[in-house]
A and B are shown apart, each in its own frame.
Chain A
Amino acid sequence: MRKADKTIISLLVALVLLLATSPVLPKWFSFLIAISLAEGLVTLGLVVLKRAGLISFGQGLYYCLGGYAVGIVGQYGGISNALALILCALVVGGLVSALVGLLLCRYRDIFFAMLTLAFSMILYGVLANTASLGSTDGFGVVPIGFFGWHPASQRLGLVVYLLICVLAVGSAMLVHRYFSAGMGWAGEAIRENEIRVEYLGISPQKILYFKYIVAALLAALGGALAAFASGHVDPNMAYWTTSGDFVFMMLLGGSANVAAPFIGAFIFEVIRTFAFDFVPYTWHMILGIVLLLIILFQPNGLWALFSKLSKKKAGVV
């Protein structure tokens, strides 16, 4: 119980810090945080699946669906209300995952991973060849507003930043609660011993199905928010290497705590930003080396380095 309080309190403190410092943060930095938090949401979804024993190489599917949902509804539906757009993204992500998940919840390990990858590449193929949506270039996302109020363009970044901070921390708190509940623990149990779970009267497939939908919703939300922040969507969001990036963010951060994926995403983005600026042609190499080092020496992610929890509580790759 004390542990749960600590996380919620830490999350609230983080939120306050993020909000309070917003006026003084340089724009590039608040943008970095905004994107990291959006990607962190996708990674949080990966953590939900990882704790249940599954690794998805296709979260890009929902990340892209979320982004395109807000993009399309914004452009062609004329809606700029941020909350309405987010709702659209969640509905799309939810419907697709409810369908796809029916098939996926029956697979495990490498087959699950490969099937998720295949589905994300199908979306990529569809979007990359759809001229009306800009093909591989994608298209721009309309600036958001709230119930009639539209922030001035120089303030838009700040508004998006605040929105993302609130939604990211809020989602983290909800997922934290979920992890401590019966459904959350069911995931741990399935990872540890699926047969035993069946013999305890629970259907692992049903539990994993719901987890898949949760992860998809988080990814769609992340995609929508990323679209708000960057003002642009393109099919690359569904390309397999994007999904690979999310998996790496999860590795970097670890899966022991709901805050870990956000930290992993942030570190990933920091490395990417600075690598681009200083050593533009070696960004992938640096990432690859960092990841090899993590896998070799710290498979529980960097969270475990700072965590006071004993090793037994951390998720093991």
Chain B
Amino acid sequence: MDTLLVVLIDGIVYASWLFVVAAGLTLIYGVMKILNMAHGSLYAIGAYTAASLVGWYFAAGYVPWASYLVFIGGATVVGVAAGVLVERGVLRLMYGSDEVVMILVTYAILLILEDLTKLVWGVDSYYSYQPYSLLGQTNIAHIPFANYDLAMVGVAGLIGLLLWYGLNRTRRGKILRAVIHDREMSSAMGINVTRTYIITFMIGSALGAIAGGLTAPTLSVAPGLGIEVIILAFAVVVIGGLGSVGGAAFGSLLVGIGRAAAVQAFPQIELLVIYVIMAMVLAIRPQGLFVAAAARKI
């Protein structure tokens, strides 16, 4: 019973930050039909920025509770800036290319950004535990859980709600969904598709960076983080369905809980659970669990 609770909560905690990353990735794919491998770098940039800010902030001795605004806000700002640079600098030159070619382009950008972060932040690990330990712990059924983790679940849930509301209830959101559905038709209807792309990429990058900022206090931020994360987010997005934010939520829950269960029961399969699920989904329902099958083009 205890194990079940641990699996559930750990799984949901893992799923929450994964959802935020995956939501950004799936949104960018949905609107721009680009599978942005560089998204992992934006996560890493967000994490590094947050870690640096935490380090500076607490060393400078400012009020602890305001640190959250600082490091998450800072991560977001830097992430969005990086995203805009990537989109305007490189991606827009390649619009209209084959989807697989775009993956190669974004992979190249991932490699470049990975080294850029190494140049800026060095190769040492960054620890920024203060915001994490500051919030203390809560006992649920006599098992201690970090409040920061639980708060992260809340933040992820909030982001999910905001995304849902934004996409479904606002005019801008409807425009986004129109472009997701049919880019050419939207353009023919007078929607400024280029501006939609820029905004989408900014939102997507923000989500990636926020996820990085949120998780920075929970781990040691080190080189290679972007590469590790992108492949996880990628699997989640494939499982949920490319372009579906709801799918990303479901996918991250499935992966998070699956992984937590594996860690408790069969640790040897922890690393491959996610890819087995990904392969199964691709084999049975390639478009993902939450996306309708596209009409056969042939």
Interface residues of A (CB under 8 A from B): 55, 57, 103, 107, 109-111, 113-115, 117-119, 121-122, 124-126, 128-130, 194-195, 240-241, 244, 247-248, 251, 281-285, 287-289, 291-292, 295-296, 299, 317
- CB distance A285 to B282 under 8 Å? no
- CB distance A241 to B115 under 8 Å? no
Q: In the bound complex, what is the Cα–Cα distance between A292 and B105 (angstroms)?
A: 6
A110-B105 contact, Cβ under 8 Å, with A129-B268, A130-B268: no
The interface bits of chain B over 263-281 (1 if a CB of A lies within 8 angstroms of the residue's CB, else 0) are 0000111111101101100
Can you list 22 A-B pairs with a CB-CB distance of less than 8 A? A109-B99, A110-B35, A110-B100, A114-B234, A114-B278, A115-B279, A117-B234, A118-B275, A118-B279, A122-B276, A126-B269, A128-B271, A129-B268, A129-B271, A240-B231, A241-B227, A248-B104, A288-B115, A291-B107, A292-B90, A295-B104, A299-B101
- CB distance B100 to A125 under 8 Å? no
Give the size range of B's interface with the partner: 35 or more
* Chain A residue at minimal CB-CB distance from B242: A110
B231 to chain A, nearest CB (A): 6
- CB distance B107 to A244 under 8 Å? yes
Interface centre among A114, A289, A291, by most chain B C-beta atoms within 10 angstroms, is: A114
Q: Which positions 110-148 of chain B face chain A at CB distance < 8 Å? A: 110-112, 114-116, 118-119, 123
B109 on the interface (CB 8 Å rule)? yes
Name the A residues within 8 Å of B269 (CB-CB). Answer: 125-126, 129
B25 on the interface (CB 8 Å rule)? no
- CB distance B100 to A55 under 8 Å? yes
Name the A residues within 8 Å of B268 (CB-CB). Answer: 126, 129-130
A5 to chain B, nearest CB (A): 34
* Chain B residue at minimal CB-CB distance from A125: B272
B18 to chain A, nearest CB (A): 16
Pick the residue among B103, B115, B119 that contacts A110 (CB under 8 A).
Answer: B103
Name the A residues within 8 Å of B238 (CB-CB). Answer: 114, 118
A237 to chain B, nearest CB (A): 15
B286 on the interface (CB 8 Å rule)? yes
Pick the residue among A111, A125, A291 that contacts B104 (CB under 8 A).
Answer: A291
- CB distance A281 to B119 under 8 Å? yes
A129-B275 contact, Cβ under 8 Å, with A113-B103, A118-B282: no
B44 to chain A, nearest CB (A): 13
Top 5 A-B residue pairs of the complex, sorted by shortest distance between their CB atoms:
A125-B272, A125-B271, A288-B111, A285-B115, A288-B112
Q: In the bound complex, what is the Cα–Cα distance between A286 and B247 (angstroms)?
A: 36
B292 to chain A, nearest CB (A): 15
B108 on the interface (CB 8 Å rule)? yes
B60 on the interface (CB 8 Å rule)? no
Q: Interface SS of chain B: helix, strand, loop or mixed? A: helix
* Chain A residue at minimal CB-CB distance from B123: A281
- CB distance A126 to B272 under 8 Å? yes
Pick the residue among A107, A111, A194, A291 that contacts B108 (CB under 8 A).
Answer: A291
Q: In the bound complex, what is the Cα–Cα distance between A106 and B225 (angstroms)?
A: 34
Pick the residue among B109, B123, B298 that contacts A288 (CB under 8 A).
Answer: B109
Name the A residues within 8 Å of B98 (CB-CB). Answer: 317
A281-B271 contact, Cβ under 8 Å, with A118-B278, A195-B298, A291-B108: no
- CB distance A284 to B271 under 8 Å? no
A284 to chain B, nearest CB (A): 4
B93 to chain A, nearest CB (A): 7
Q: Interface SS of chain A: helix, strand, loop or mixed? A: helix
Name the B residues within 8 Å of A282 (CB-CB). Answer: 115, 118-119
Name the B residues within 8 Å of A103 (CB-CB). Answer: 283
Q: In the bound complex, what is the Cα–Cα distance between A10 and B103 (angstroms)?
A: 34
Given contacts A288-B109, A295-B108, A296-B94, 19 further A-B contacts (CB under 8 A): A107-B282, A111-B286, A118-B279, A119-B279, A121-B272, A121-B275, A125-B272, A130-B268, A240-B231, A281-B115, A282-B115, A282-B118, A284-B112, A285-B111, A289-B112, A291-B108, A292-B105, A292-B109, A292-B112
Q: In the bound complex, what is the Cα–Cα distance between A291 and B231 (angstroms)?
A: 20
- CB distance A292 to B108 under 8 Å? yes
B235 on the interface (CB 8 Å rule)? yes
- CB distance B235 to A118 under 8 Å? yes
* Chain B residue at minimal CB-CB distance from A126: B272
- CB distance B272 to A122 under 8 Å? yes
The interface bits of chain B over 72-114 (1 if a CB of A lies within 8 angstroms of the residue's CB, else 0) are 0000000000000000001001100011110111011111101
Name the A residues within 8 Å of B118 (CB-CB). Answer: 281-282
Q: In the bound complex, what is the Cα–Cα distance between A248 and B110 (angstroms)?
A: 14
Q: In the bound complex, what is the Cα–Cα distance between A287 and B114 (angstroms)?
A: 11
Name the B residues within 8 Å of A111 (CB-CB). Answer: 282, 286
Pick the residue among A107, A124, A289, A317 that contacts B101 (CB under 8 A).
Answer: A317
Q: In the bound complex, what is the Cα–Cα distance between A296 and B109 (angstroms)?
A: 13
Q: In the bound complex, what is the Cα–Cα distance between A287 and B105 (angstroms)?
A: 12
B30 to chain A, nearest CB (A): 14
Name the A residues within 8 Å of B109 (CB-CB). Answer: 288, 292
- CB distance A287 to B286 under 8 Å? no
Q: In the bound complex, what is the Cα–Cα distance between A55 and B101 (angstroms)?
A: 10
Q: In the bound complex, what is the Cα–Cα distance between A110 and B98 (angstroms)?
A: 10
